[in-house]
Amino acid sequence: MSVKPASRLRGKDLVGIDPLTAGEIQLILDTAEQMREIAERPIKKVPALRGKTVVNLFMEASTRTRFSFEVAEKRLSADSLNFAASASSVSKGETLLDTALNLEAMQPDFIVLRHQYAGAPHQLARILKSSVVNAGDGAHEHPTQALLDALTIRLKRGTLEGQVVTIVGDLQHSRVVRSNVLLLSRMGAEVRVAGPPSLIPPGMEAMGCRVFHHVEEAIAGADVVMMLRIQLERQGRMNFPTVREYYDFFALTPERLKLARKDCLVMHPGPMNRGVEIDSRVADGPHSVILEQVTNGVAVRMAVLYLLAGGHGEPASD
Amino acid sequence: MAAELVERVGDEKLLYLVGVQTRGVPLAKRLAKLIGTTTGHEPPVGALDITLYRDDVGPWRAAHQQPLLRDTELPVAIDGRVICLVDDVLYTGRTVRAALDTLMDYGRPQAIRLAVLVDRGHRELPIAADFVGRAVPTSHSEDVQVRVTECDGEEGVWIAKEVGG
């Protein structure tokens, strides 16, 4: 039994997967599936968000997510403004709140925020009239990433329900894993997570997943294997001995992939460290849908912006 | 209507029917079948979703809810073809305006015509249908619903009067 899509999103913001109902998730995914077609047209642009202004407020490095949002905004005819923390008053000591209030004084409709602190988008959402979209907050949530992962699985498998999804890597510092576990379990998938014990935060099970310490057990029979990035810039502060050892115990190799279902999907949110968490033969192999994830990311962000632009008052009577 | 369409288009090999989602699509398919049996050449049929081109989404919309998106499928290129847009009810003309803009983003047809099952009047834009199943004079307070088996499980045209307010 598939989930009936909601008729609209209730909130003015998208701060995380946690506040969304299954019906709202279904609505975003259904809308995103239709948005995909726009990229195939000779003129890759629709007028739906004409006259809307989106500020992409990225306080932390990002290429893929920022580009993806920008492409989505342009395809919907919105005007995008890009904000890079290094070239702004932030480097002169302005607080996030002051930056946001100053930007809001220029009447944008959306603020897309990437921030190193968990909860930053929630704080802005409470204070600003604009719609706030979380593009990743600290180690907390990255809702559009989870939505694009879900769309990729759904397009390949037809449903999320009953899918066995294994997520492997640094569960402690990953916002991708949190949003994914929340979303997938809410939509009826069976979620397994695995990683070095030192990188598994307490309370993982409470989010709706099973925790494994041996990656082989977690991968056995899986429909989807999602590898997380090992943050090499944290090298030395990471809670495992060496990158080489990490590869030996946790990387997705062709041998380990054989344990999963024959038509298993291999996913990675990027950027990949080849030869660390994922073997190149797997990353470029026939199971990999890593580049399709990127394509679907644009469609998901278009859907989120389009649906949030619908406003958040009383539902229409019809 | 099928005969009239073929006669007016001249070269039926150029004809291409495009239904406006939702109920224009099954109507376009039926028209294409009829044309196929009379001329021996069944024209291609496409489906067009105009939602993202509507003038009541974005800053002008009244309802706090975005309309759901549906499929757009144009199986062959529209360039150089004579497109006949097919819809169930012609009312304000705003849907047709959106459909024209949508089509233009897909290519450059030789001509675009409009066929509707019911023309209920009350145009708000300078738009007229080339082929009309039936012109039905109505008042604004009435609601004209076309139901087709493919979408609604029943068939017919209903004119409903709003009771009370």
pLDDT digits (tens, 9 = 90+) for A208-267: 999 999 999 999 999 999 999 988 776 566 678 888 999 999 999 999 999 999 999 999
Q: Is the pLDDT assigned to residue A179 strictly greater than 80?
A: yes
pLDDT at B61 over 60: no
Q: How confident is the model at residue A313 (pLDDT cuts 50, 70, 90)?
A: very low
- Are A309 and B66 an interchain contact pair (Cβ–Cβ within 8 Å)? yes
Mean pLDDT, range B117-135, rounded to an integer: 95
Cα–Cα distance measured from residue A174 to residue A226, given in angstroms and rounded to the nearest whole number: 12
Distance CA A119, CA A141 (A): 9
Its pTM stands at: 0.90
B161 touches chain A (CB under 8 A): no
pLDDT of residue A316: 39
> Looking at residues A274-287, what average pLDDT do you find?
96
Whole-angstrom Cα Rg for chain A:
19
Tens-digit pLDDT profile for residues A87-109: 666 767 889 999 999 999 999 99
Nearest to A8 among B53, B65, B107 (CB): B65
What average pLDDT does the segment B9-38 reach? 93
Q: In this predicted structure, what is the pLDDT of residue B59?
A: 46
Q: Which residues of B touch A38 (CB under 8 A)?
A: 52
Q: Which residue has the higher pLDDT, A86 or B92?
A: B92
Query: Which of residues 74 through 133 in chain B touch A, CB cutoff 8 A?
Result: 101, 105-107
Tell me if B65 and A310 make a contact (CB, 8 A cut-off).
yes
What is the tens place of the pLDDT at every residue in A149-161? 999 999 999 999 9
The mean predicted confidence, pLDDT, of chain A is: 92
Q: Which residue of A has its CA nearest to B98?
A: A47
Q: Answer yes or no: is the ipTM higher than 0.90.
A: no
Q: What is the mean pLDDT of residues A289-293?
A: 97
**Dist CA A255 CA B96 (whole Å):** 57
Distance from CA of A290 to the nearest CA of B (A): 25
- B68 interaction partners in chain A (CB closer than 8 Å): 5, 30-31
